[in-house]
């Protein structure tokens, strides 16, 4: 296992300490979230009783294989959501969705009483936009949507699958937006993207994370609050 993976596993196991019996959990997608789901599965095998809402089909399938009860449309709010991030800035603003599950990830994060991010230190950024912002869009007239988003000053690329465009679990396309020099005004950019006709959701997660567990070589660092 690589050093980054060891760090991610350490962050995931620290997040597991926040889980209490009877909780409804939001479980994320991606490699870091996978470590959390696997650790949660170990606790469930030991007798812990919880249920979970999964942000992707892949995470749902893994959770079910590990004996975790998965629900699709719970009546109660989510007690705790745990997920990774692609970028984290000092204000706990995030870019998520490089794995393609941003729409469901944002729904879960927005529905949770607490949203905790787990990551290794490579995901920390002084300014968001060091990589790219994924945007889930309707396939219908997608080129027109791409032109509108390019008007925001971004380089816009349709995410490719194996032989055809990448298709999300919701049956939509993803456009990846790159902003040269990063994003100076994340709130303004988020509002402009969301207001673009054809856009369903974007990967800027602003004001959603309550805390972050960041694994560094020296140990774990806590940003924000875990309580």
pTM (predicted TM-score): 0.95
pLDDT tens digits, residue range 173-182?
999 999 999 9
Nearest CA to 145 out of 203, 102, 193 is that of: 193
Largest CA distance in the chain: 53
Instruction: State how far the Cα of 86 lies from the Cα of 124, in Å rounded to an integer.
Output: 9
Determine the CATH number of domain 3-125+206-218: 3.40.50.1360
**Per-residue DSSP letter, 77:** P
Instruction: State how far the Cα of 108 lies from the Cα of 80, in Å rounded to an integer.
Output: 9
pLDDT tens digits, residue range 67-79?
999 999 898 899 9
Which pLDDT score, from 0 to 100, does residue 19 have?
Answer: 98
Which pLDDT score, from 0 to 100, does residue 217 have?
Answer: 86
Which pLDDT score, from 0 to 100, does residue 1 have?
Answer: 62
Determine the CATH number of domain 133-202: 3.30.70.260
Nearest CA to 25 out of 48, 5, 58 is that of: 48
Structure tokens at 68: 């975790």
Nearest CA to 129 out of 175, 87, 174, 157 is that of: 87
Instruction: State how far the Cα of 59 lies from the Cα of 36, in Å rounded to an integer.
Output: 11
Indicate which residue of 58, 60, 87, 105 is catalytic.
105
Mean pLDDT of 77-100: 97
- The answer for 129, left when phi > 0, alpha when psi is -120 to 50, beta otherwise, is left
Q: What is the mean pLDDT of the chain?
A: 96
Active site residue 6: no
Which pLDDT score, from 0 to 100, does residue 5 have?
Answer: 82
Locate the domains of the chain by residue range: 3-125+206-218, 133-202
């Amino acid at each position: 296992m690589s050093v980054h993976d060891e760090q991610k596993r350490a962050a995931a196991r620290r997040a597991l300490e926040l889980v209490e019996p009877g909780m409804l959990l939001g479980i994320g997608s991606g490699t870091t979230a996978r470590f959390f789901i696997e650790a949660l599965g170990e606790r469930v095998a030991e007798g812990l009783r919880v249920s979970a809402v999964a942000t992707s089909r892949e995470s749902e399938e893994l959770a079910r294989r590990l004996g975790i009860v998965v629900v699709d449309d719970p009546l109660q709010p989510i007690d705790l959501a745990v997920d990774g991030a692609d970028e984290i800035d000092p204000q706990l603003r995030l870019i998520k969705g490089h794995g393609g599950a941003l729409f469901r990830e944002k729904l879960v994060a927005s529905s949770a009483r607490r949203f905790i991010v787990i990551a290794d230190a490579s995901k920390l950024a002084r300014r968001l936009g060091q990589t790219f912002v994924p945007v889930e869009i309707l396939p219908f007239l997608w080129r027109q949507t791409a032109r509108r988003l390019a008007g925001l000053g971004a380089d816009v690329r349709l995410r490719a699958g194996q032989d055809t465009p990448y298709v999300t679990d919701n049956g939509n396309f993803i456009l990846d937006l790159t902003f040269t020099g990063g994003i100076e005004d994340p709130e303004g950019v988020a509002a402009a993207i969301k207001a673009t006709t054809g856009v369903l959701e974007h990967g800027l997660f602003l004001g959603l994370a309550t805390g972050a567990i960041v694994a560094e070589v020296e140990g774990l660092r806590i940003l924000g609050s875990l309580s």
